Amino acid sequence: MPPKAKYTQAEIVKAGLELVRREGGAALTARALGEQLGSSARPIFTVFQSMDEVRQAVLQSARQCYDGYVERGLAQDKAFRGVGAQYIQFAICEPRLFHLLFMSESERPPDLSTVLPSIDDNYHKILQSIEKDYGIHGPAAERLYQHLWIYCHGIATLCAAKVCQFTGEQIQQMITEIFLSLIAQGGENHD
């Protein structure tokens, strides 16, 4: 008969997420997680098969946290701008989770045309907000999304790394200025 689990899967994931929030993704080891739980590492492996499985569950929990920010952005009057501002807010409030989700090195980095769908499960909802609110469709909507994401990612990275800080008003203004500039260009790709 297998040993009775001392901690539930949810408790272990919650402890792992708190560890990553405090110390970053590299700190998520069996020993550190055991210490976070106030025990040895052994109880972790009565619930999970491996640390890779734990890491995947913690990563999924971090994504769920991020998804809450996206939903708040999509609920705003100007949903696309709201999502950009919430992306930056996520980086400010959860810098280590932001790093885990959006700044981790990839073995084979995707190109620009596939990066957003590959790193953000909310891609299609965000793209639909552009189409719905602004009547921009297809490749033009995708280019607008790519440009704004690159810009917002830059601001978010500055904030997460504590290189710069911005007020909410400044963030809204910057996103609006870039958005209007891109719209004025007609969303066309000028190579």
User: CA-based Rg of the chain, rounded to a whole angstrom?
Assistant: 19
The phi, psi pair for 179, rounded to 5°, reads -60, -50
Instruction: Report pLDDT for 4.
Output: 65
Using the predicted structure, report yes or no on whether residue 191 has a pLDDT greater than 60.
no
Q: Among residues 138, 145, 143, 140, which one has the least CA distance to residue 123?
A: 145
Q: How confident is the model at residue 3 (pLDDT cuts 50, 70, 90)?
A: low
Does residue 81 sit in helix, strand or coil? helix
pLDDT score of 93 more than 70: yes
φ/ψ of 183, rounded to 5, equals: -65, -40
State the fold for domain 9-48. Answer: Arc Repressor Mutant, subunit A (1.10.10)
pTM for the whole thing?
0.91
Segment 58-85, tens digit of pLDDT:
999 999 999 999 999 999 999 999 999 9
User: Where residue 105 falls among pLDDT bands split at 50, 70, 90?
Assistant: confident
Whole-number Å distance between alpha carbons of 64 and 42: 27
**pLDDT score at 2:** 57
